[in-house]
Amino acid sequence: MDTGTHIVMGVALAGLSTFDPAVQNDPALFHAVFAGTVIGSHAPDFDTVLKLRNNATYIRHHRGVSHSLPAILLWGVLVSSAIYAFVPEVSFLHLWFWTFLAVCIHVFVDLFNAYGTQALRPISKKWIAFGFINTFDPYIFGLHIVGIIAWILGANPSYTWLIIYTILFLYYIKRYMDKREIVNIIKEHLPDTIDVVTSPTIKHNEWRVAVTTTDRFYVGSVIDGHIEIVDEFAKIPLPDSTLMDIARKDKNISAFLSFSPVYRWEINEVEDYTEVRFIDLRYRSKSYYPFVAVVQINEGMEIISSYTGWIFSEYKLQRKLYIGDSLL
């Protein structure tokens, strides 16, 4: 989810914590828990600081180690301990529990969008992305704002948030059913379908889809239950060549391949170098595929430039390659 939604979820959890008699009867503990749930709800995304290093490091590790099983435990302890240092008179056990729960909920809700997480590390490095909740969902965010306003106006926080989260639970079930129906529609349309990656948009009735079949990739949209294929590409295995071996060892390409499950590739010969480009098919926007990885290799089989990340025009991509990823 986006940062704003994670924060309002932290506020909601603070409201739910008043079901705990210890929190309800101790104002100091309540305020400590409030801080713990809000900070804990955002803590796994502190890895955004990796962007300061370079895109490759960020893409390879964002929602990876920071969202793993050991990290969930560590974030809970670190955040609650830091708060406890300022209010040692409160119950650490209760503070830790609600803070830890906030971290768990952060990682849990991140599983439902198209980006996903590596939540099962170190057991598995597989990306888990259910793809039926948008990264920013106006319904989810809006319900939280309604709950916050009701709380400010004097509504009982425990029951206010219990009602809202019951509604959200039903909403998640509905979105899951929506996705299942879309997948069934696609499989009827393309019987040799192997996998379907869904990406809900901010519009409730519109989804982006990337479909893998036995020999092709299809990219399209599903609006009100009607599928429209807008692009299709032959499914071509990566060639066994020195050029491709060098490309795959580049940090930007390697990071892209560790993250993207559905992509196509192309090789373009330029005057004094060869460009190898990988294109993620999940995020088509206005006829453009903005998430890419590109490496330029000269005639001596040396990498002269590379880049991975979100880019929305060819001009900006070539400028990034010219400047060099290390300077971004």
How confident is the model over 91-147, as pLDDT tens digits?
999 999 999 999 999 999 999 998 889 899 899 988 899 999 999 999 999 999 999
pLDDT at 325 > cutoff 50: no
Give the residue extent of every domain in the chain: 3-173, 174-234, 242-327
Which token pair is 328?
């971004």
Q: Percent of the chain scored above 70 by pLDDT?
A: 98
Q: Per residue in 253-285, pLDDT tens? A: 999 998 888 999 999 998 889 999 999 999 898
Bridge partner list, 295: 276, 306
The confidence band for 320, taking pLDDT boundaries of 50, 70 and 90, is confident
* DSSP labels, 21-55: HHHHT-HHHHHHHHHHHHHHTTGGGGGGGGGGT-H
Residue 80 pLDDT class (50, 70, 90 cuts): very high
Least confident of 67-81, 225-239, 303-317: 303-317
Residue 284 near residue 208 (C-beta atoms within 8 A): yes
Two structure tokens written together for 212: 């893998």
Q: Would you say residue 324 has pLDDT above 60?
A: no
φ, ψ of residue 298 to 5 degrees: the values are: -85, 180
Residue 175: Cβ-neighbour burial (10 angstroms; 0-12, 13-18, 19+): buried
Residue of higher predicted confidence among 241 and 317: 241
Per-residue pLDDT tens over the stretch 97-113: 999 999 999 999 999 99
**What is the C-alpha separation between 312 and 289, in angstroms, rounded?**
8
pLDDT score of 311: 87
CATH topology of domain 174-234: Nuclear Transport Factor 2; Chain: A, (3.10.450)
What is the band of 152 on the pLDDT scale with cuts at 50, 70, 90?
A: very high
